Amino acid sequence: MNERAREQWGSRLGFTLAAVGSAVGLGNIWRFSYASGENGGAVFLLLYLLAVLVMGLPIMIAEFTIGRRAQSDVIGAFHKLAPGRPWVLGGYLGLLAAFVILSYYAVIAGWIAKYLVGYLSGELMMVPAGEYGSHFTQFTAERLEPLGWSFLFMALTTGIVAFGVKRGIEQANKILMPLLALLLVGMAAFSLSLPGAAAGVRFLFRPDWSVLARAEVYLAAVGQAFFSLSLGMGALLTYSSYLPDNVKLPREAVKVAFFDTLLALVAGLAIFPAVFSFGVDPAAGATLVFIVLPGIFEAMPAGMALGLAFFALLSAAALSSAVSLLEVVVAYAMRRWRWTRLQSGLIFGFVIFLLGIPSSLGYGLLAELQLFGRDILSGLDLLASQIVLPVGGLIFALFIGWGWQRNVALQASDFGRGWLGRAWLLMLRYLTPLMLTLVLLHALRAL
Ligand code: TRP
């Protein structure tokens, strides 16, 4: 086959930033804060860290290894590395997950865009205190407006992807990531200086072990690890397929996992001290960011600027993650049908926007419809993060552990002959699949 020259990252830093940009997203701020709030804070954090170490990191190195060796998208990679074998099912599952996740991710990102503009115009500061809840419910219950914002967000995402790996994705992340880190650290410093902030820090760091008796906490931690690290559907696999041979993969994976976790912690330090300082329930759930925080901003001296900064930060985080989700689909379409980047981006960006419509209407017109006992968006999020991504991760782990030759895996991953590489393979063979299977069996029972 006569292939177009494959695009490459402009620099190693560019790749690192893009991979961190993929990982750091609504998962770290919106999702991490409500998941840890609902699941007891510190204990959830510990389980999450454990999941990052025994599942996240080994699987991330697996994705990096597969992607770079194959120099292809999530489906092409398996066709190339294991032709005619069933591993490619993992690729199809990944592609499916990209459609599902991005479809609802864009809906939430649309709300964020709306709030960003609401702080720009000052409109959100006019909402009477205590009415942010009904403000949010009314907005999300509308038919057209939320979809308009989600459309705008998908258009931006498509625009970045259409410019290509180096000039689009890499450039965007070089701007968005430093901006995000700066805003987040600033907000955490401010939040920590509020009276009563210490209770929020205690909530995040002082474990209440009784939470361990609740089975859903383990599942939530694993789901959060997969979602937050962008694992299990080939986003990082696709990004690493644009890497040359001289970048050391294990080190890159450690960096990505480290920064992703650090940013979730800083986000927690930006949110929980403020939540406790204002006497709000940390288990407020998925609406924490849209209802609780605006109420807090309103009561603060520089509330409008803070609200603006916060939603700008969320937008930056969401955009860089959405780009990585769309790239999975675009990379596939470009190879499979030989479409151009722009064509693939426009077509699938639009298809994904359409797929998000039910998730958006789930708060209004389709509120009666339930998925696993939740609204459509939350049901899809549950399905994706606690089932589809772990299954995808399981397939990637098993492929490296059992489907590939040991030596090839050790060489392709850059581990070489040392004990670290052996430990990695042992984890992918036994520990990671075992734990994933336990979690999955449990998730299926809970559905
Ligand atoms: N990790 C991102 C976040 O935390 C979301 C994301 C981007 C993602 N790409 C992904 C999640 C791939 C799962 C798989 O918001």
400 lines ligand 1 (CB under 6 A): no
- Identify the band that residue 361 occupies on the pLDDT scale cut at 50, 70 and 90: very high
pLDDT digits 0-9 by tens, 262-284: 999 998 888 888 888 877 777 76
pTM: 0.94
Mutate to test the pocket of ligand 1, among 60, 161, 226, 227 (most ligand atoms within 8 A of CB): 227
**Distance (Å) from CA 163 to ligand 1 centroid:** 21
Atom 12 (ligand 1) nearest CA: 230
- Residue 125 reports pLDDT greater than 70: yes
Check if the beta carbon of residue 358 is closer than 8 Å to that of residue 337.
no
157 lines ligand 1 (CB under 6 A): no
41 lines ligand 1 (CB under 6 A): no
Check if the beta carbon of residue 73 is closer than 8 Å to that of residue 66.
no
Check if the beta carbon of residue 413 is closer than 8 Å to that of residue 397.
no
385 lines ligand 1 (CB under 6 A): no
- pLDDT the model gives residue 2: 41
Instruction: Look over the chain and give the mean of its residue pLDDT values, rounded to a whole number.
Output: 91
- Identify the band that residue 213 occupies on the pLDDT scale cut at 50, 70 and 90: confident
324 lines ligand 1 (CB under 6 A): yes
Mutate to test the pocket of ligand 1, among 228, 289, 323 (most ligand atoms within 8 A of CB): 228
Check if the beta carbon of residue 95 is closer than 8 Å to that of residue 75.
yes
Q: Choose among 175, 143, 189: nearest CA to 312.
A: 175
Q: Which residues contact 190 (CB under 8 A, 6 or more apart)?
A: 270, 306
**Distance (Å) from CA 389 to ligand 1 centroid:** 10
pLDDT digits 0-9 by tens, 283-304: 766 677 898 788 878 877 788 8
> In DSSP terms, which residues pair with 374 in a beta bridge?
371
pLDDT digits 0-9 by tens, 162-191: 998 888 888 888 888 888 888 888 888 888
- pLDDT the model gives residue 4: 62
289 lines ligand 1 (CB under 6 A): no
SS3 for the chain is CCCCCCCCCCCHHHHHHHHHHHHCCHHHHHHHHHHHHHCCCHHHHHHHHHHHHHHHHHHHHHHHHHHHHHCCCHHHHHHHHCCCCCCHHHHHHHHHHHHHHHHHHHHHHHHHHHHHHHHHHCHHHHCCCCCHHHHHHHHHHCCCHHHHHHHHHHHHHHHHHHCCHHHHHHHHHHHHHHHHHHHHHHHHHHHHCCCCCHHHHHHHHCCCHHHHHCCHHHHHHHHHHHHHCCCCCCHHHHHHCCCCCCCCHHHHHHHHHHHHHHHHHHHHHHHHHHHHHCCCCCCCHHHHHHHHHHHHHHHCCCHHHHHHHHHHHHHHHHHHHHHHHHHHHHHHHHHHCCCCHHHHHHHHHHHHHHHCHHHHHCCCCCCCCCECCECHHHHHHHHHHHHHHHHHHHHHHHHHHHHCCHHHHHHHCCCCCCHHHHHHHHHHHHHHHHHHHHHHHHHHHHC
Residue 231 CA: nearest ligand 1 atom is 14
- pLDDT the model gives residue 1: 40
204-218: average pLDDT: 85
39 lines ligand 1 (CB under 6 A): no
Cα-based torsion angle of the residue sequence 331, 332, 338, 340 in order, rounded to the nearest 10 degrees: -40
Take residue 161 and report the two structure tokens written for it. 């992807």
111 lines ligand 1 (CB under 6 A): no
Residue 28 CA: nearest ligand 1 atom is 4
413 lines ligand 1 (CB under 6 A): no
Q: Report the C-alpha gap between 253 and 400 in whole angstroms.
A: 16
- Identify the band that residue 345 occupies on the pLDDT scale cut at 50, 70 and 90: very high
131-160: average pLDDT: 94
**Distance (Å) from CA 420 to ligand 1 centroid:** 27
